[in-house]
Structure 1
Amino acid sequence: MIIVTGGAGFIGSNIVKQLNNKGRNDILIVDDLTDGRKIRNIEMLDFADYIDYEEFDIAVEQNTFDCGPIEVVFHEGACADTMNYDGRYMMKNNYEGSKNLFHYCQERRVPFIYASSASTYGHGTNGFREDPVCEQALNPYAYSKLLFDRYVAKFRNHLQLQSQCVGLRYFNVFGPNETHKDKMASLVRQMYYKLMETGEITLFKGIDGYGDGEQTRDFIYVNDVVNVNFYFWEHPEISGVFNCGTGHAHTFNEFMKAVISFAGKGEIRYIDFPEVLKGKYQSYTQADTTKLLAAGYDKGFTPLEKAVHEYCALLRDNEGYVK
C-alpha cells in the first residue's frame, strides 16, 4: 500500500494521478474533506481507500493504525495558509501530526517523504541552501515546517534513522488541482480568469528595492515536484532535507507575461503593496539545487512558459483540473 496524506489536496492529488499513470492504484488517501471542493481533485482518480485525517492521526498516535504492508508514505497533508496566525492549531496539525507519522514509519521501516517549505528561509538574507544559517520563520506555518525539519535532523545527525526520511522544501509550486486554495493558489490560477474577464492582470508595485512586478520567485511546476518525490522513492538509500525548486528565479512580470502570451491579449496593472504583508513577504526566492543535483536528480525542470501554457490550457478546457 502507498499512503498519500493530503491526497485530495493540490500536490497530493497530483502524486496520486502520477501513481495511476504508473499503473498503481493500491493507494490510501488521507485528507480532510471539510472543504468539499477537493472532491473534484480525486473523483476521477483510482485508489484503494480514503480515510479522514483526524481519524488517521489518532490511530497513528495510538499505534493502532493498520492497513497491511506499506511501501512508502508521501506526507503532503498540512495547513499551508501562510496567513493563518493560529500558532496552536498550526503546531498541532503540521508539527505534532508529522512527528507521530514519522515515528510510526520509523518503527516499521517505511520510507517517509514529506513536504517541507521554502518559507523556512524567511527573507532569504543568507541564501536558500539547506543550512541552519539560512533558516528563518516569518509566520507560524513556516515555523511548524522548520521545527519539524529540525526534529528529524536530530535523528539523522545521530544516525538513528531506521529507514529513509526525506524532506522536500517546496518553492513556489503551481499547476492543476489548486482551485480550492483560493488566495493561496498560484497567480496563474488567480489571474487567468481575471484576465479573461477584465483584460488585465494586477501585480504589486515595487517594494524592498524591487521595481513594479519585479519581485522574483523560484516557480516550479507541480509535475516536476512529483518527479522529485518519485526520484527519492526510487532511491530509498537517500535521506535528508532537499530544496525542491528549479534553481532559477523569475519575476512576477515574466510569470504573468506567460499567461498573457497564452491568452493572446491583456496588460499588467500595478497596485499598492498591502500593509498587512509588509515584513512578512518574500520578495526573492531561488532554490540552491546543489544538494538535490548531488543526490543524483537528473530529470530537469519544465521551462516556465511551457508549464504556464500547459496549465492555462487546463484552466481553459477543464477548469484547472488534471485530465
Structure 2
Amino acid sequence: MIVVTGAAGFIASCLVSRLNQDNFNDIVMVDNFSVAKKEDNLKGKKIKEYVDRENFFEWLDEHYEDVEFIFHLGARTDTTEFNKDVFDLLNLNYSKQMWNACAEYQIPLVYASSAATYGSGTLGYDDNEATIPLLKPLNPYGESKNDFDIWALQQTAKPFFWAGLKFFNVYGPNEYHKGKMASVIFHAYHQVKERGSMKLFRSHNPEYADGEQMRDFVYVKDVVDVCMFLMHHRKNSGIYNLGSGQARTFMALALNTFESMGVEPNIDFMDTPENLRANYQYFTEANMSKLRSIGYDKPFYTLEEGVKDYVQNYLMEGKYY
C-alpha cells in the first residue's frame, strides 16, 4: 500500500491520479474528509482505503507491514494565517510524528517542504542543507516548514530513505477548492472569463516594474513526476528544491493566460494589501542542480506549455486531474 496524506487536496490528489496511471491502486488516502469542498478531487480515483488524519497513526501501527511508501503532503498552507499554534499542530508536530513512525517501521518517506522557507531570498535559493538553519522565512507558514526541515536534519533515527521537497509556486488542476490560496493563473482565468480583464498586484519595490515581480512557477504534473521518480529511486536522502528552475514574471503568466483563452490582454494593477507588503517575495528561482545530480532528467513544462495545458484542458473544460 502507498499512503498519501492531504490526499483530497491539490497536489496530493494529482499524485493519486498519477499513481493510478501507473497501476498503483492500493492507495490509502489520509485527510480531514469532513471538508466537503474537496470531494470532487476524490472522484474517479482507485483507492484501497480512506483514513482520517486524526486516526492515521493508530491505523499505521496495525498496518505498517503492508505500507510500501508514504507521501506526506498534508499541511496547513495559508500564508496569511498568523496563528502559530495552527502550524505547530498540523505542519510541525504531525510531521514529527510521521517521521518517527517511518523511522521506527523503516518506511520510505517523501514530505512537503516549501520555498517559503527561503524568505526574502537574501541567502539565495540553493537547497544546500548547511544553510537551512540560517534561513529566515517571512511568515509562520514558512517558519513551520523550515522548523521541520531543521528538526529532520538533526535526527539520528531516520527512515531508510527520505526526501523533503521545497515546492515553489505550484499551479494546475485540482486547486478549485483553495480559494484565495489558489494560483494566480486560476484567479486570472476566472477574472478574464467574468469580465474580460484581470488584476495583478502593483509593485511596491522600485527595482521591479508593475507586473515584473518574478516567481518560479512549476506545473503540478512536474511535481508529481518528481514524486514518482523518488518513490522508485529510494536513495540520496535529503532536502530538494522542486521548481521549474526558471523565474518568470507575473506579466508573462497573465499574457499566457489570455492567449490560452483566446482573449485580447486587458490587465489592471491594484495595490498589494498592506498586511502582505513587508513579507512579499519579489523573486524566487529554484536551483534544480541537486535533483538533477541524482538522475532526474525529465524536462519541466515551460510556463507557456503549463498554462496552455491547464487553461485549455482543465479550467475551460471544468475537469479534474
Shorter-chain TM band: over 0.9
TM-score scaled by length of structure 2: 0.95
Match in the other structure for 2:269: 270
2:107 is aligned with 1:110: yes
> For the structure 1 residues 162 and 200, does the alpha-carbon distance in structure 2 shift closer, same or farther, using more than 3 Å as the test?
closer
Point out where structure 1 has 5 or more consecutive residues left out of the alignment. none
Task: Assess, with a 3 A threshold, how the Cα gap between structure 1 residues 223 and 145 changes in structure 2: closer, same or farther.
Answer: same
User: Is the contact between residue 244 and residue 286 of structure 2 (CA under 8 Å) also seen in structure 1?
Assistant: yes
What SS class does the counterpart of residue 39 from structure 1 fall into?
A: helix
Matches within 5 A, 1:15-94: 15-57=15-57, 59=58, 64-66=61-63, 68-94=65-91
Letter in 1 for 2:43: E
Residue 229 of structure 2: which of 225, 231, 234 is its match? 231
Alpha-carbon separation, structure 1, partners of 2:162 and 2:308: 34
Relative distance call for 1:21 and 1:256 in structure 2 (3 A) is same
Alignment of 1:110-189 (within 5 A): 110-131=107-128, 132=131, 135-155=135-155, 160-189=157-186
Contact 2:10 2:175 in 1 (8 A): yes
Code of the aligned partner of 2:41: N
| Structure 1 residues 283 and 112: alpha-carbon distance in aligned structure 2, compared to 1, 3 A threshold | same
Q: Secondary structure at 2:107's aligned position in 1?
A: coil
Q: Secondary structure at the match of 1:317?
A: coil
Distance 1:263 1:114 in 2: 35
Q: CA RMSD in A?
A: 1.4
Q: SS of the residue aligned with 1:234? A: helix
- The reply to whether residue 203 of structure 1 matches residue 200 of structure 2 is yes
Quote the offset at 1:224 in angstroms: 0.1
Matched with 2:242 is 244
| Partner Cα distance (1:70, 1:64) in 2 | 11
Equivalent-residue separation in structure 2 for 1:239 and 1:136 (angstroms):
24
| Deviation (angstroms), 1:226 | 0.5
> Across the two proteins, how many residue pairs are aligned to each other?
315
CA distance in 1 between partners of 2:190 and 2:34 (Å)? 25
Question: Take 2:103 and 2:197, find their aligned partners in 1: how far apart are those partners?
Answer: 51
- Deviation for aligned residue 1:65: 4.4
Shift of 1:161: 2.8
Question: C-alpha displacement at 1:277, in angstroms?
Answer: 0.5
Letter in structure 2 aligned against 1:182: G
Q: Given that residues 240 and 291 in structure 2 are in contact (C-alpha distance below 8 angstroms), is that contact kept between their aligned partners in structure 1? A: yes
8 A contact 2:64–2:105 mirrored in 1: no
C-alpha separation in 1, matches of 2:64 and 2:25: 14
Which segments of 5 or more consecutive residues in structure 2 lack a partner in the other structure? none
Q: Does 1:10 align with 2:15?
A: no
Q: What is the one-letter code of the residue matched to 2:36?
A: G
- Give the 4+ runs in structure 1 shifted more than 3 A: none
* Structure 2 CA distance for aligned equivalents of residues 150 and 9 of structure 1: 25
Q: Is the 8 A contact 2:99 2:159 kept in 1?
A: no
Tell me by how many angstroms 1:244 deviates.
0.2
Deviation string for 1:20-71 (max 9, x for gaps)?
10011100000112321111001111110101112225x27xx744364111
**What is the CA distance between 1:287 and its match in structure 2?**
0.3
Match of 1:283 in 2: 282
TM-score, normalised by the number of residues in structure 1: 0.94
Q: Output the amino acid matched with 2:4.
A: V
Deviation at 1:292, TM superposition (A): 1.2
Distance 1:51 1:187, change over 3 A: same
The percentage of aligned residue pairs carrying the same residue is 39
Partner secondary structure for residue 25 of structure 1: coil
Structure 1 residue aligned with 2:320: 321
- What is aligned with 2:304? 305
- Distance in 2 (CA, whole Å) between partners of 1:207 and 1:289 is 29
8 Å CA contact 2:102–2:158 kept in 1: the answer is no
Aligned match of 1:96: 93
Query: In the alignment, is the contact (CA less than 8 A) between 2:3 and 2:71 conserved in 1?
Result: yes
